[in-house]
A = this chain, B = another copy of it.
Amino acid sequence: MGQITEFPFAPANKCRGRQRSVEAEASVLKATLYLLERKSLREITTEAIAQRAGVSKTTIYKWWPNKNLVALDAYLSSMTARVVMPDTGSAFKDFTLQLRSVTSFYKSPLGRLFGQFIAEGQSDPAILSLFRERFLYARRDAARVMWQRGVMRGEIRKEIDSEIVLDLIYGPMIFRLLTGHGSLAEDDSEAMVAAVFAGIGLPGYKEAKVPTPRRRQKKS
A residues contacting B by CB (< 8 A) are 40-43, 90, 92-93, 112, 115-116, 118-123, 128-129, 131-132, 136-137, 140, 154-157, 160-161, 163-165, 167-168, 170-176, 178-183, 185, 187-188, 190-205, 207-211, 214, 216-219
- For this complex, 27 residue pairs linking A to B, each with C-beta atoms less than 8 Å apart, are A90-B207, A116-B123, A118-B122, A140-B181, A155-B202, A157-B198, A160-B200, A164-B192, A167-B172, A167-B173, A168-B195, A168-B200, A171-B171, A174-B175, A174-B178, A175-B175, A183-B219, A188-B219, A190-B211, A194-B208, A194-B209, A196-B200, A197-B205, A197-B208, A198-B208, A198-B210, A199-B199
Question: CA of A155 to CA of B203 in the docked complex: distance in angstroms?
Answer: 9
Q: Is the CB of A193 within 8 A of B208?
A: yes
**Given A191-B211, A219-B187, are A123 and B168 also a contact pair (CB < 8 Å)?**
no
Q: Is the CB of B168 within 8 A of A196?
A: yes
Question: CA of A201 to CA of B191 in the docked complex: distance in angstroms?
Answer: 14
Q: Is the CB of A187 within 8 A of B207?
A: no
**Given A199-B199, A200-B157, A200-B196, are A216 and B182 also a contact pair (CB < 8 Å)?**
yes
Residue of A132, A165, A175, A211 most packed against chain B (CB within 10 A): A175
Q: Is the CB of A122 within 8 A of B190?
A: no
* Cβ-closest 7 pairs across A and B: A199-B199, A197-B208, A171-B172, A197-B201, A171-B175, A167-B172, A119-B119
Q: Is the CB of A198 within 8 A of B201?
A: yes
Question: CA of A205 to CA of B173 in the docked complex: distance in angstroms?
Answer: 24
Question: CA of A196 to CA of B185 in the docked complex: distance in angstroms?
Answer: 22
* Chain B residues in 8 Å Cβ range of A119: 118-123
User: Which of B136, B187, B205, B207 sits near A181, CB closer than 8 Å?
Assistant: B136
User: Which of B118, B207, B210, B217 sits near A195, CB closer than 8 Å?
Assistant: B210
Q: Is the CB of B193 within 8 A of A155?
A: no
A14 to chain B, nearest CB (A): 18
User: Which of B41, B178, B208 sits near A92, CB closer than 8 Å?
Assistant: B208
Q: Is the CB of B214 within 8 A of A181?
A: no
User: Which of B93, B188, B199, B219 sits near A197, CB closer than 8 Å?
Assistant: B199
